[in-house]
A and B are shown apart, each in its own frame.
Chain A
Amino acid sequence: MKVLMFGWEFPPHISGGLGTACYGLTKALLKCGVELIFVVPKAYGDEKPGSIKLVNASDVAINVQDEIFKEYVDHISFVEVDSTLVPYADDEQYYHIMESIEKGVTFEKGPVTSQKFNFSGGYGKNLMEEVKRYAMLALEVARQHDFDLIHAHDWLTYMAGKEAKRISGKPLIVHMHATEYDRSGENMNTLVFDIEKAGMEAADVVIAVSNMTRNTVIQRHGIDPGKVITVHNGVEPSEKELDTDIPRHLDEKIVTFLGRITYQKGPEYFIEAAYKVLQRDENIRFVMAGSGDMLPKMIRRVARLGIANKFHFTGFLKGDDVDKMFGMSDVYVMPSVSEPFGISPLEAMRSNVPVIISKQSGVAEVLQHAIKVDFWDIDAMADAIYALTHYQGLPSIFKKHGKEEVDNIKWDQAGVKVKEIYEKFLS
């Protein structure tokens, strides 16, 4: 069984959950004996694909005179994506985005009839343009390779999947990791929404990462419920040993929010809950780690509430600092307004940190040993924070069972389920 898979990023060059999820799923599929051709817009050369065949779209040459490209060559339009709507941009990515905006997407002149494109592979201002070019190159990739099925991850690759289906006639599976509705609420980018909808309509099966996401695409995008199947994400077992020697210099309990500070993640509810807790007990510290477009507003809110000596901001945290942050934390809170899955609470649990998660998250469907609250219910959130920091029995129960629970949420199960979906088409 050979699958042509379209992704946008591959470890180590990832900036969000998408690359990690693709990596986990592909590894599990390989274990099940599925052969994969994984296409990314830009390969950096230091990926660890293992036995996955990694195709770098920037290396694919196309014959622009070919009839099948005609539609693209004639209709490439230069649509800029509003930068605030770029899905996974963080501090580290920002540099690359600026770089790609400066350079633009460049034509590399090959032989007279053959042309290559350089992709930034990021989430810059030319995102929409790159998505379209990626789709064009998908046609060529599909022509050059043999495969039985097509599997495309998130809207960025849906056009590519559609094109590959058009030229090969093979079944298309699209995987929904995060919808535009999750990212932006009612203020959706309609261009992105339309691509999502068209991709799912063209697909033979839609895989959603949670029941919540399944409901979203059925209700918001109007997709036929009969072809939407939920496959919960897994979590990669940690490669490194848990560092238990992280120094703690503060006497108080620490309650942490860690993630992009954007609408989707619900940072303001965390602040309001913190304020409520601090009125009861001043000996707790709150940390908001990460950066995002709502950071300035959050800082001002904290200042206005007069709790800035108890509520701290760290800015964007990189690898080691993330571990350090978990190591210092006593409670982890994920108050997401809409989280298709949500891997970060699992990482916290693996570091023995009890978690409070919003009911509006996919991960709430699979976790037992977590406190679940509605994202808007700051009273319940404050109550849970107070309980976890004051009633000793509670955190110890969470610590005891949480780690075990996380270790059992494996990609292998997801891999088996996805393979079953593949097999339906081949039998």
Chain B
Amino acid sequence: MKSICFYFQVHQPFRLKTYRFFEIGNDHNYFDEYANRYMIRQLAEKCYLPANQILLDLIKKHKKDFRVAFSISGMAIEQFEMYAPEVLDSFKKLAKTGQVEFLAETYNHGLSSLKSKKEFSRQVKMHETKIQSLFGVKPGAFRNTELIYNDDISKLVFGLGYNTILTEGPKHILGWKSPNLLYCSAANPKVKLLMKNFQMSDDIAFKFSVKEWSEWPLTAEKYAGWLKALDPKTEVVNLFMDYETFGQNQSQKSGIFDFLLNLPKEVLKNSDFTFQTPSQVSRNLQPASPLHVPYPISWADEERDITAWLGNEMQNEAFNKLFDLEPLVAKCNDDKILNDWNRLQTSDHFYYMSTKWFSEGVVKTRISPYNSPYDAFINYMNVLVDFEIRVKKYCSQKKSRSSANRAENAKPGSGTIAETSTKTAGKKTPAKGKKS
């Protein structure tokens, strides 16, 4: 029995508003509420709602033979809660069928796996809790932001309780090996790896509406034929893509929804494939061999590396300056600060600073709200500096509060009393600060 493993990525960043230098120290609202709301509403109507409906119909029609997986970032979930709760409802309906798997990832769709074990764990746990509370199931498999993966990450993820990771299947890692088998991590053979078949994924995600493509127009029948013609040793075809493929990146006019609607029928009718979720695949198949991945890979660009996010000096500077704040943020007990800390880590902010698009021939899959990577960097740094000031202020006030408390409570009290007095003192101090 062969499997098709569909996984769709649902993520939208909190886009920053134009934040001028003059506002540093004064304005602490960083996000472009209008643009974010508009984007979510647009995508809800063009993509998420119609595509979810189709998937629901397909599950009803094909029963156990049709399954898919989603990874929904915490950033997307928060924005659905704010701007499009009906999208969350439709995902909950899918969850109820029991045939849709929800994957674990970092809550903020960030790059902490490359920098901080502590922050990475915090993000994964936060996302796990959110998914469980929304859909009632604990995620069973993990995918990292932009499918970023290496040996170190496999160890980190295993430590967090996952033994299945979805990642890219790049040529420079697989070599002569086929992506259509299950693999395991060389660093920890207990971790199973699902490698994206980028050719067959990209045929849908990128090429579908390209009229110059020799295979255009792509029909479900033709695609099912390709699957059938694959090497008989094929065990699983991993089709990983952004969910926005349906209705946004490939417009409704291109016929992408018809393709989605007809594909299961064509596949199930004419071949020995069934649709399975990543956890099923991981359970049912034996790893073909271990894979060494010393340097991080991702699903971006021809290089399949991390240079789209951390490839130039601006990106590295912004990323380093952000994580310089981690120890201080850890001391902060303030919801607004922690929220902003999450949102500022989202990988998209760094993607907008990429200068790779200057050279031609690169498929730019996401549209930047900025005119240039330089504008993106300047805007991000302005925001980050204001955030830095807030965090430092909070920490120094906390310090003075706790020393004041020590003076007040000359006799050492119990932990809870000390805590409550810290809280009350905390309310007073900022008010004083405003007056001065």
- A-to-B contact residues, CB < 8 Å: 247, 249-251, 287, 295-296, 299-300, 302-304, 306, 308-309, 312-315, 321, 324, 328
Contacts and interface: CB of A to CB of B under 8 A. Distances in A.
Closest 10 CB pairs of A and B: A249-B25, A303-B317, A249-B26, A303-B313, A303-B314, A304-B313, A313-B378, A250-B25, A314-B21, A312-B21
30 contacts: A251-B25, A295-B374, A296-B374, A299-B314, A299-B374, A299-B377, A300-B312, A300-B313, A300-B314, A303-B316, A303-B317, A303-B318, A303-B377, A304-B313, A304-B317, A306-B317, A306-B320, A308-B314, A308-B377, A308-B381, A309-B381, A309-B385, A309-B388, A312-B24, A312-B378, A312-B385, A313-B21, A314-B21, A314-B378, A324-B22
A313 B312 CA distance: 18
Contacts of B26: 247, 249
Contact of A249 (B24, B321, B384): B24
Contacts of B23: 249
Contacts of A302: 317
A328 B385 contact: no
Bin the interface of chain B by size: 20 to 34
A324 B23 CA distance: 12
Given A249-B25, A249-B26, A314-B21, A308 B374 contact: no
Contacts of A328: 22
A99 to B, nearest CB: 18
Given A303-B377, A308-B381, A287 B21 contact: yes
Nearest to B382: A312
A308 B377 CA distance: 9
Contacts of B22: 314, 321, 324, 328
A247 B26 CA distance: 9
B20 interface: yes
A296 B318 CA distance: 16
Interface of B: 20-26, 312-314, 316-318, 320-321, 372, 374-375, 377-378, 381-382, 384-385, 388-389
A353 to B, nearest CB: 16
Given A324-B22, A328-B22, A315 B378 contact: yes
Contacts of A314: 20-22, 378
A328 B22 CA distance: 9
A312 B383 CA distance: 11
A284 B384 CA distance: 16
Nearest to B353: A303
B208 to A, nearest CB: 35
Contacts of B384: 309
Contacts of B321: 306, 308-309
A299 B378 contact: yes
Residue with the greatest number of chain B CB neighbours at <10 A, chosen from A308, A314, A324: A308
A247 B24 CA distance: 11
Contacts of B314: 299-300, 303, 308
A308 B317 contact: yes
A295 B381 CA distance: 16
Residue with the greatest number of chain B CB neighbours at <10 A, chosen from A302, A306, A309, A315: A309
A118 B263 CA distance: 62
Nearest to B384: A309
Nearest to A299: B374
A370 to B, nearest CB: 25
Given A314-B20, A314-B378, 20 more contacts: A249-B26, A250-B24, A250-B25, A296-B374, A299-B377, A302-B317, A303-B312, A303-B314, A303-B316, A303-B377, A306-B317, A308-B317, A308-B318, A309-B381, A309-B384, A309-B385, A312-B21, A312-B24, A312-B385, A314-B22
Contacts of B377: 299, 303, 308
B202 to A, nearest CB: 32
Contacts of B21: 287, 312-314
Contacts of A308: 314, 317-318, 321, 377, 381
Nearest to A296: B374
A314 B23 CA distance: 11
A196 to B, nearest CB: 33
A295 B374 CA distance: 9
A101 to B, nearest CB: 19
Contacts of A303: 312-314, 316-318, 377
Contacts of B24: 249-250, 312
Contacts of A312: 21, 24, 378, 381-382, 385
Nearest to B378: A313
A302 B372 CA distance: 17
